[in-house]
Chains A and B, each alone.
Chain A
């Protein structure tokens, strides 16, 4: 009797393992398909059109394939590299400052009982940055910050910090509060709570938050053009002009230049898979048991 039950259990386990293997295989296929199609849809037309001039109907390739556009761009003293440097500095300053401020703001917003704080948190996302920048200009001009890098960072933080706070708001859930209370009751200090309770939870969302705020700054055109007043020369200021004025080939080239840092930031984040911290595992286990 027992040998029969053992046999049926072994059969069942074998069937489940087979099913799991088949699911893993199909998932891998879906993954490859999705990744390849994403790369083709994004990179295909941009590379195709940037490597050549002209694109008359119904040709699939440019009329005159070659690297003329790239050579022109790299050979001329266009100041593109210095513009990229300025954009990178802006993106770093904005993303790190916005994430730090956003973390503090998210805690205050999460612990507030009224709706006012929540409304304030979402405010920057309903106002067109261009219109807000026109009004902000007078304020920053009064502080002698208009037309400077610091002024642009300050204006971008008005939008980036609340966005970081929204992303990080979910850190402050009931489970976190329970854990904070537990550590506090056991005699843990404030730095210990930040280090051992809050940081492991923040770490999960930190790359997403930094990437989003850095991308916001890198791609911003409205605030830079109004607050910078032409004195803060970023890549978007140069490339938006190129997109508006030039043909399809130059537009494709400009799009690649605009997108490259996002890919450079994005791919390491994609490769680095974030692991579930043991402390969360234990907490969730305790709740489900």
Chain B
């Protein structure tokens, strides 16, 4: 009996539970395949447009847009900037959410804290970006408060926190939008999976509360939050509204670069936008494939 259970536990989920399959599984797979084909079509459309095969002003197959994009530093800088900002936001959001988890672990649950998180989560990105501008701009509320406290002489002496080279405004705005969702997700997972019971077992077996948190709760939480963390990273990687309002002119985050290239300049330059979007698509797919492959190997 034990051997049989051990053998089952090594099998992947689809083979582990043959009796638990329903008709919805086929529909679900068809939906996923349909979605994949749709995105393949979008990718091919962008690729064809960037190669001059389609488009209103296309003059036949050409690689000049790809050559122009590769010789310019704009694309590389945008990808680097997007990855750095997304990593920073994910890391800060994760640290913040774990801090809340630790607080809850130490002092118990609080409706007030959860209400504040729900409230913060209900703030749209564009409003969060507008609020960041209101607070952190050189002529914003913080600068005015500092002036009235006698700590600032003029708006020009206030440090640049928006449209700045370090993208502080974008990171702050991204963190304010991502952290509540990540924290609430972790709290729900903690409750739904009854993780406190594993902690209690560890304490009953002789571990200290801190050891139980560090070696039992934290790894379980991180393991269950992997999908949401990847989502947070990708969400911030492809952020558009906040970088549009709070970012500097150059380099731009990748979504802004694509949108500006595709929509605002002349139609002649439109294929350049599709070059950027194609590269962006490839980089994104490779990132997801690397993440998903790693997760599949772990399972």
Binding site for B on A (CB under 8 A): 23-24, 26-28, 30-32, 34-35, 38-39, 41-42, 44-46, 49, 57-60, 101, 104-132, 134-136, 138-139, 158, 161-163, 166-167, 169-170, 172-175, 177, 180-181, 184-185, 190, 193, 201, 204-205, 208, 211-212, 215, 218-219, 221-222, 240, 243, 248, 251-252, 255, 258-259, 262-263, 265-267, 269-271, 273-274, 276, 280-281, 283-285, 287-288
Judge whether A280 and B234 touch: CB under 8 Å: no
> Which of A30, A59, A218 has a CB less than 8 Å from the CB of B103?
A30
CA distance A27 to B268 in the complex (A): 60
> Which of B39, B113, B126, B231 has a CB less than 8 Å from the CB of A127?
B39
CA distance A236 to B13 in the complex (A): 43
Known: A119-B289, A121-B32. A273 touches B38 (CB 8 A): no
Which of B12, B119, B227 gathers most chain A CB within 10 Å? B119
Judge whether A127 and B31 touch: CB under 8 Å: no
Instruction: Please give, as numbers and ranges, the residues of chain B lying within 8 Å of A124 by CB-CB distance.
Output: 35, 39
Known: A108-B31, A266-B122, A284-B194. A59 touches B108 (CB 8 A): no
Judge whether A166 and B231 touch: CB under 8 Å: yes
CA distance A113 to B38 in the complex (A): 22
Judge whether B13 and A111 touch: CB under 8 Å: yes
Interface range, B side = 35 or more
Judge whether A59 and B31 touch: CB under 8 Å: no
Interface of B is mostly: helix
Judge whether B28 and A284 touch: CB under 8 Å: no
Judge whether A136 and B106 touch: CB under 8 Å: no
Q: Which stretch, B19-27, B69-77, B87-95, B163-171, touches the partner chain A?
A: B19-27
Whether B112 is near chain A, meaning CB under 8 Å from some CB there, is yes
Instruction: Please give, as numbers and ranges, the residues of chain A lying within 8 Å of B284 by CB-CB distance.
Output: 123, 126-127
> Which of A41, A127, A172, A267 has a CB less than 8 Å from the CB of B118?
A267
CA distance A209 to B46 in the complex (A): 31
Judge whether B32 and A276 touch: CB under 8 Å: no
CA distance A28 to B113 in the complex (A): 8
